[in-house]
Amino acid sequence: MDIRKLSAEFSVSPQIAALDVAEIAALGFKSIICNRPDGEAIEQTASAEIADQAALCGLEFRLIPVTGCNFTDAAVAAFQNEMACLPKPIFGYCRSGTRSTNLWALAQAATQSEPELLSLAKSAGYDLSALSTRLKATNQSHNVVATC
């Protein structure tokens, strides 16, 4: 696995397999968020398989699928809610880790600045410059009240 830490509470990775979940738990993660829709690729492990393994390993699992760059306000709000409610640290994954990183940045934009988020993502190997305008617009414009 290629795990990249974005914050003390959240790390991302490209697609994982069910066999990776035990290692994720052993590394200290408490929750997994999948941001990849099922069936996107033939070789992709279904989210239900990951969820089953997560349950066996004592991890929480959530599915917030995003297609391409379609980061809807609803997906961002759902991600923000899970970041507030799930046990931490949280492990997020999608095809490459980029969607999970984008959602994380958009969810954090209400409390962290655009330059800080771009820098954290860049340090992890993700270029979020295409989100710059949206991150600036989102910054301190709204907070989701968590419904845990």
pLDDT in tens, 103-128: 998 888 888 887 888 888 899 988 88
Mean pLDDT of 26-42: 94
Mean pLDDT of 28-40: 95
What is the structure's pLDDT at 131? 79
> How many CB atoms sit inside 10 A of residue 84's CB?
15
Structure tokens at 131: 């989100």
User: Residue 90: which of 37, 35, 145 has the closest Cα?
Assistant: 35
Task: List, in order, residues 6 or more apart from 99 with CB less than 8 Å away.
Answer: 35, 36, 66, 71
Structure tokens at 29: 């993660």
Indicate the pLDDT class of residue 51, thresholds 50, 70 and 90.
very high
Structure tokens at 139: 């910054």
Indicate the pLDDT class of residue 145, thresholds 50, 70 and 90.
low
Give this prediction's pTM: 0.88
User: Residue 79: which of 144, 2, 17, 12 has the closest Cα?
Assistant: 144
β-pairing, 4-5 vs 10-13, is antiparallel
Given a cut of 90, is residue 89 above it in pLDDT?
A: yes
Structure tokens at 33: 């968020």
